[in-house]
């Protein structure tokens, strides 16, 4: 009984500090720099910050290729991500019917994960919603193909530790951040 009580008391505390996984460095920099989202001013976006945000995200032309993490913004009302070189877009957040979304001029984006394919097809392709002709909606988009990932040339911008500090140390988890917005997690053991 004491263990159950302890677990029930600690459970809310464990969820407060959970961070949203945002692998695209440009997208993360945008969100972390937006004080209406990053309310505590740290270098991460917590799940609690994402779910509480009920405003607009304008990330047009920011060289963002992956909006992974946007699905945690369950109260988001506007998402403009046109022209940010997207290859992945997952807006399954349970709130698509209350969202305004534009994702045009993203030639490498084909599949957009949504809450309801029929609803999105009927409602997001008319009026002010704009998408490129190759875009389609799905509940389970395939990941980008290996061919797409290997045809892009990318340069390493920096290597950081878990706290986001630049480092060249080994024997610890490191993040390799590239100029195309991708991030790789590696552990180099010497």
Domain contains 3? no
The verdict on 125 and 177 lying in the same domain is no
Strands (DSSP E) contained in 14-147 are: 56-58, 78-80, 89-90, 100-102, 111-113, 136-138
CATH number of the domain within which 45 lies: 3.80.10.10
- pLDDT tens profile 138-167: 998 887 654 444 445 678 888 888 788 888
- pLDDT tens profile 12-57: 444 456 999 999 999 999 999 999 999 999 999 999 999 999 999 9
Rg (CA), the chain: 18
* Closest to 117 measured CA to CA, from 84, 91, 80: 91
Residue 108 burial (CB count, 10 A):
14
Eight-state DSSP code of residue 141 = P
Which residue range is the domain that position 161 belongs to? 156-187
The verdict on 96 and 172 lying in the same domain is no
This prediction has a pTM of: 0.63
- pLDDT tens profile 161-184: 878 888 888 788 887 887 777 777
The verdict on 112 and 28 lying in the same domain is yes
């Amino acid at each position: 009984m004491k263990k159950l009580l302890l677990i029930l008391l600690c459970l809310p505390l464990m969820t407060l500090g959970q961070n949203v996984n945002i692998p695209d460095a440009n997208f993360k920099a945008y969100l972390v720099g937006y004080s209406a989202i990053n309310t505590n001013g740290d270098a991460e976006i917590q799940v609690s910050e994402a779910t509480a945000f009920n405003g607009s995200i304008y990330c047009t032309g920011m060289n963002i290729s992956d909006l992974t993490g946007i699905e945690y913004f369950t109260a988001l009302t506007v998402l403009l991500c046109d022209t940010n070189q997207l290859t992945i877009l997952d807006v399954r957040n349970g709130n698509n019917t209350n969202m305004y979304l534009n994702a045009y001029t993203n030639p490498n984006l084909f599949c957009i994960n949504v809450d309801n394919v029929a609803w999105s097809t009927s409602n997001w392709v008319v009026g002010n919603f704009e998408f490129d002709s190759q875009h389609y909606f799905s509940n389970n988009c395939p990941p980008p193909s290996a061919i797409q990932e290997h045809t892009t040339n990318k340069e390493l911008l920096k290597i950081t530790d878990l706290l986001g500090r630049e480092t060249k140390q080994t024997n610890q988890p490191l993040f390799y951040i590239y100029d195309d917005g991708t991030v790789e997690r590696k552990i180099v053991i010497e």
